[in-house]
Amino acid sequence: MSDSTAVLLRRRQALVKKLAGLEPLILRGSLIERYKRCGHPGCKCQQGQGHGPKFYLSVSQSGSRPEMDYVPEEYSQQVSDYLLNFQAVRQLLEKICNINRALLRRRVKF
Ligand SMILES: [Zn+2]
């Protein structure tokens, strides 16, 4: 049994609503942690893994090297959340597209 057109339209409406809430809260890329040695003679970082973690947002651009943006620690959680939101937005778009495809097959105006 496939869902009725009314059900599909209602489901799409709910997805669009979720999407609208997330749309401004997205970032694409990945959050990278780095530890750095400062180079000061005698600093404890010479022995250990280095100072850090320092966070960077790495965004790959087609055809060129990834761009790295430094992320202050107090923003790292937000950036992490926004990256997850981007995945969620992608999934919502995919679901909306699937519904629209179903509507197209039914020759429903959508
Ligand atoms: Zn150091």
Ligand 1 centre distance from Cα of residue 51 (Å): 6
The per-residue pLDDT for range 85-106, each reduced to its tens digit, is 999 999 999 999 999 999 999 9
How confident is the model at residue 2, as a pLDDT? 80
Longest dimension (CA), the chain: 74
Ligand 1 centre distance from Cα of residue 63 (Å): 35
Ligand 1 centre distance from Cα of residue 53 (Å): 13
Q: 5 with 103: CB under 8 angstroms? A: yes
Q: 84 with 26: CB under 8 angstroms? A: no
How confident is the model at residue 108, as a pLDDT? 86
Q: 37 with 54: CB under 8 angstroms? A: no
0.95 surpassed by pTM: no
Ligand 1 centre distance from Cα of residue 38 (Å): 4
Checking if the pLDDT of 1 tops 80, the result is no
Distance CA 99, CA 105 (A): 10
Ligand 1 centre distance from Cα of residue 43 (Å): 5
How confident is the model at residue 85, as a pLDDT? 98
